[in-house]
Structure 1
């Protein structure tokens, strides 16, 4: 069992999400940066879809009530076990009574904590990902106790850590494909999409990232149609909205671009004010 002594800015349990339910209006959800979530699980030998704890900008303070093997990936922070600094991207042993603290993100935006066997929280519609009105809670609070599997810890651990590519946090280039309504844009608008530098708005969250810069828009709204994480919508006011993991399943704004999976992961690590450029 792992207890939240102090909640971070936004903590939740996520796996890779819910699938085959979008026709019923159920969002995918899942870890915002699935590369980092998978990496944490693979370092421990978990299935890549095992549930992890995701934190945003400021991590929680945790207490372990049983022995556990853990791994922390994603956003770089001041990670400590019992006030002693430890490394990320490697297997770490914690014992009953130990505390784990994260501090604020120094690089990136979202971090991930995996435990051997994955967190054993409620399974709803085939996933443990928290989402409002689907799971009992949509985020973790102080005092929450997270069940984990009983673990027999190995006597020795590999001391090597896995290096995350620098570009995962630092690149401004966001890889995209043409969206269904891309060809309805004028040639001038199409050129502007990949020549302008955009910045992440303060109105960004797990549902969508909004961009501050407005874009000339003369397109008519479309009939409500399918959207998915990574869809880039152009609103009537000319604002670009990039749908993220908790996005709705349908929308009526033109879908001018579509992010690759790698681009969604990298965008999830960008904070307010971060610059980005679209690249085909």
Structure 2
């Protein structure tokens, strides 16, 4: 039997995401996927789902969700207070949902991206091996108020009372682990010193495609041919601006690729807020 969830309020840039879309970069199709994959995988692990099951991802301002059909959900990511029918419930645990229940969130205190997982995953459109929403690939790039999303309802509940401890890992890691990018050795010693021994501030120029940093790095590098880029690539623009590419980034770029974030560091910077400071530490 199928159930549906209705968005009574859409929140801010709320989307359906899974682990991403792979094997289509040569056609210019971004990987997409959950901005914070650690929280995404946790949402599914709590429910014993396939690890790539689709979830709802929201950005800073949460949606309000009404469930039409019994199910079990999990809430991970941003630190906030979830309420089921105005009764406080727990993050990082299984939450029993019955037909007509309304889930809302209050007091978003830390982080940027929140996740709602559901038993067996949301059943949105499946295109090029993924349910992740992306403009010009899926019908819509995000969810809107009154949208209805299908899921498999459950006929029998077997929720667990155990609570998975999930530390606020993005607070603990202000220094992002990175590898040297292909053009790193083109930097001068002074540029490398600034890059690796100074803090940088997350700017308000940010979205699912990229995060721009406030501080600039003096740049006299020559222009380069367009070359492959990935989520986590740190580009240096002609003006000296540092741009960290994120999940919906383009597949090629013409700016020097001076650093490449590790997989975990991409999750960390995704949850950093505007005004937070980060540094870079090279790992082997």
Q: TM-score range with shorter-chain normalisation?
A: over 0.9
Aligned partner (choices 80, 83, 89) of residue 83 of structure 2? 80
Q: Is the 8 A contact 1:50 1:119 kept in 2?
A: yes
Aligned partner (choices 189, 192, 195) of residue 193 of structure 1? 195
Q: Is the 8 A contact 1:174 1:259 kept in 2?
A: yes
- Counting strand residues as a fraction of each chain, which structure ranks higher? 2
- Deviation of the 1:279 alpha carbon: 1.0
Give the Cα separation in 1 of the matches to 2:185 and 2:87.
55
Kindly tell me the number of residue pairs found equivalent between the two proteins. 279
Q: 1:70 is matched with which residue?
A: 73
Q: 1:250 is matched with which residue?
A: 252
Q: 1:213 is matched with which residue?
A: 215
1:142 aligns with 2:145: yes
Give the Cα separation in 1 of the matches to 2:61 and 2:265.
23
SS at match of 1:103: strand
SS at match of 1:194: helix
Aligned partner (choices 10, 30, 49) of residue 13 of structure 2? 10
Give the Cα separation in 2 of the matches to 1:136 and 1:8.
19
Deviation sequence 1:13-61 (CA, Å, 0-9, x none): 0001110100000000000000000000011010111100000101100
Give the Cα separation in 2 of the matches to 1:2 and 1:15.
17
- Deviation of the 1:150 alpha carbon: 2.6
SS at match of 1:26: coil
Q: 1:202 is matched with which residue?
A: 204
Give the Cα separation in 2 of the matches to 1:17 and 1:2.
22
Query: Where in structure 1 do 4 or more consecutive aligned residues deviate above 4 Å?
Result: none
Q: 2:115 is matched with which residue?
A: 112
Residues 149-228 of structure 1 aligned to structure 2 (within 5 Å): 149-155=152-158, 157-228=159-230
TM-score between both structures, scaled by the size of structure 2: 0.96
Moved more, 21-30 or 96-105: 96-105
Give the Cα separation in 1 of the matches to 2:47 and 2:99.
19
TM-score between both structures, scaled by the size of structure 1: 0.98
Gaps of 5+ in 2: none
Aligned partner (choices 266, 269, 275) of residue 267 of structure 1? 269
Give the Cα separation in 2 of the matches to 1:243 and 1:217.
19
1:34 aligns with 2:43: no
SS at match of 1:126: coil
Residues 114-129 of structure 1 aligned to structure 2 (within 5 Å): 114-129=117-132
SS at match of 2:53: coil
Aligned partner (choices 101, 104, 117) of residue 101 of structure 1? 104
SS at match of 2:171: helix
- Deviation of the 1:190 alpha carbon: 0.9
SS at match of 2:191: helix
- Deviation of the 1:104 alpha carbon: 4.9
- Deviation of the 1:9 alpha carbon: 1.2
- Deviation of the 1:215 alpha carbon: 0.6
Q: 1:54 is matched with which residue?
A: 57
Q: Is the 8 A contact 1:58 1:103 kept in 2?
A: no
Cα RMSD between the aligned structures? 1.0
Deviation sequence 1:187-217 (CA, Å, 0-9, x none): 1111111111101111111000000001111
